[in-house]
A = this chain, B = another copy of it.
């Protein structure tokens, strides 16, 4: 028999996990808004209401945090997609998601947007776990789209890749231009092209 040893625990076991989740969500927002090089460990901890010293109780290195934050970003997108497509038939679901993705709101709020549009450059240059997390996120997003596309199985994956490239490229381009009217035109053009590729309208 293994004796059960009761240790003096100050906090509920979920307490630390909750803190880590909070740090991760703040990191996911800050990294998309300012880029990995534009956010310090101290910045992120401050946003989570903590001091920088506690960071290493949750993460091995800053890179470790970035990797986990990237996974969190793609998970947010996955949840959003699931929420939007829950009650709709495929065509309407894709239509709604494209319109939400290729939108002024997404252009103006990278901090809660798709990591491909805001971090593709930075993360393609990264190595190790960060790069792997990004790679996996991109692959799973393309696969998710493929499953909903009205196309024969052999061409689905390719059409999904082209569609994701169109959507992410459009939002990235709209962010590049200052002028609000020019950005709106880019978004409208890219949205129309994406809808066409998805077999809508």
Contact = CB atoms under 8 A, between A and B. Distances in A.
A45 interface: no
A98 to B, nearest CB: 13
A99 interface: no
Nearest to A182: B139
A164 to B, nearest CB: 6
A192 interface: yes
Give the most central of A34, A37, A134: most B CB within 10 Å. Answer: A37
Interface string A43-82: 0000000000000000000000000000000000000000
Interface string A14-52: 000000000000000000011111100000000000000
A172 B121 CA distance: 7
Interface stretch (A5-13, A86-94, A112-120): A112-120
B158 A162 contact: no
Contact of A186 (B121, B122, B165, B169): B165
A157 interface: yes
A173 B138 contact: yes
A25 to B, nearest CB: 20
Nearest to A170: B165
Interface string A166-184: 1111101101111100100
Contacts of A168: 169, 172-173
A104 interface: no
Interface in A116-159: 116-125, 131-132, 134-135, 138-139, 157-159
A175 B138 CA distance: 11
Contacts of A189: 158-159, 161-162, 165
B190 A125 contact: no
